[in-house]
A and B are shown apart, each in its own frame.
Chain A
């Protein structure tokens, strides 16, 4: 395998800056790797829905020119990135994994797309996802499933399975995900990568196609904690185009990652959430989680057990709040202004065309959630369901508040199980929803959370994630803990977890 595709983002940026390699060579190495392993919906990893060869090479050439002109390059200039296909790009199609947006070319760039371009990051293409970011396996994509690089018969997590798989298959050193109930963290856990859900409002949502607006948050995905921190810094910060964007200084996540890597967590108070474990959790997941907790103690942290009694109701509240917002947000796909239009033959009314288009354009899970939301918001049920779910949201936020009065961060496994076989839960929505048990509370409360590699489960040899939760606008604590754990494990394993992943050479047809 090419050394350029194995390198960290920080190493690539330094090599480009130092003139050891050009940004074009780096981009080409990744495009070659994509050609080698990504394949199609039928075979290969299939992390990408669209690869922008010309655009990536042009962006890389621009970085090389800026360097030649003596310009000071940013810390990620020339580094390739895989962008989840729910973020708008003016020069590439943006589908949200849905037939209803197939081939759509947005007239504008998302704020984070623009910020990454300004930082000289080279966007390789758009990655696969569950339709409108609804799912935990990427099986709900209208364009075929993404396969987990650790075992191609298994799911890569979701909804951001494409972004996580691209990292784990060494197709890109950086990626962007979006997290509404765990869509950054769960794929990170099951692919052995790093995924951070920043504080809600920490990263602009302008140009992020909405799933559930009060929960959606874009964030960095990477193979190392420091790489994720550098990407976090590029995309985070106030954006006047997003009225829910926080007008405060972004926590210094890069400094926290560097400090964490020194491996001393003395004085840090860590709370193990009592309710996130036990029945329903795979033995290998619990074993790796317990190892990670022991490691935190060894690194100097003071570990205590904390109770968050209402987290048990998080899943139920989430599956009322999310579908309600989805049914409202997805109403914009009306076949009138953009996207698919079906049955406009001169005889049908606008309303009939709208219904036909939505019936054919949305997949099963999107329909399920639109229907569920329509029910929860309908008169007679609103107070009983949506209203009650909003109260549970308050109780969960209070649990976090009480917990963070005692400890600096909370920890749990990221997911109850490792990656499951493709097809296993596709028509069992309740079983699928269980994947997000540990990650959902942070979306409901809006605080920062992340998943870091914690080793492989004994029974199946698949990656397990350590879930770390921090208070609102204390994203830096995630990086402190993540980097400390990463450094200790690297010493123990003799490298990163991903170095143990299959090489995948020549698998694409």
Chain B
């Protein structure tokens, strides 16, 4: 059954953009292994010819009329932002030093 190394856990944390402390990585490695071991039984039951279900309701393509509707003001949205400037979200540098 799955055995997840600490390196794999660190890689997953990077993919998930989670800055985890060293002790968190150790702790999670053991727990993820245990949980995945327990849920691996799904691989035993379902045969190839069983279709997957992604959603409880078989709804497809729910459209609305393509008409403009009122929406939130920029002011109302930016009021909850961690930082805003000139009517926009202010974010940390995204292109690095050389940009």
Contacts and interface: CB of A to CB of B under 8 A. Distances in A.
Q: Do A and B come from one complex?
A: yes
Interface of A: 104-108, 200-201, 214-215, 240, 243-244, 246, 310, 313, 315-317, 319-320, 327, 331, 334-341, 344, 346, 348-356, 358-360, 362, 367-368, 370-372, 374-375, 378, 384-385, 387-395, 397, 429-430, 443-446, 472
A315 B20 CA distance: 27
Nearest to B75: A107
Given A338-B80, A339-B82, A355-B18, A375 B32 contact: yes
B17 A358 contact: yes
Given A358-B17, A392-B45, A444-B56, A371 B82 contact: no
Given A316-B38, A316-B40, A344-B82, 9 more contacts: A244-B62, A344-B83, A367-B20, A368-B32, A375-B4, A375-B36, A393-B52, A395-B46, A446-B57
A345 to B, nearest CB: 9
Nearest to B51: A394
A359 B20 contact: yes
B83 A310 contact: no
Interface string B29-44: 0011011101111110
B36 A200 contact: no
Contact of A336 (B77, B79, B89): B89
Given A319-B35, A371-B32, A388 B91 contact: no
Nearest to B63: A243
A430 B35 contact: yes
Contact of A105 (B4, B19, B47, B80): B80
A341 B82 contact: yes
20 contacts: A104-B80, A200-B56, A201-B56, A214-B54, A244-B57, A316-B38, A317-B42, A336-B82, A350-B92, A358-B19, A359-B18, A367-B28, A372-B35, A374-B15, A378-B15, A388-B46, A390-B54, A391-B46, A394-B46, A446-B57
Contacts, number: 180
Main secondary structure of the interface of A (DSSP, over half): helix
B42 A388 contact: yes
Nearest to A442: B56
A409 to B, nearest CB: 18
A349 B93 contact: yes
Interface string B58-75: 010010100000001000
Given A240-B64, A316-B38, A385-B39, A335 B18 contact: no
Kindly list the 9 A-B residue pairs having the minimum CB-CB distance in the complex, ordered from nearest.
Answer: A446-B56, A359-B19, A391-B46, A390-B52, A341-B82, A355-B19, A243-B62, A316-B39, A393-B53
A149 B28 CA distance: 33
Interface size class of B (residues with CB under 8 A): 35 or more
A370 B20 CA distance: 12
Interface of B: 4, 9, 12-21, 24, 28, 31-32, 34-36, 38-43, 45-47, 50-57, 59, 62, 64, 72, 76-77, 79-83, 89, 91-94, 96
Nearest to A335: B82
A316 B41 contact: yes
A106 B76 CA distance: 9
B52 A387 contact: yes
A372 B46 CA distance: 21
A388 B46 CA distance: 6
Contacts of A362: 18
A353 B28 contact: no
Contact of B89 (A310, A337, A349, A354): A337
Nearest to B95: A349
A372 B56 contact: no
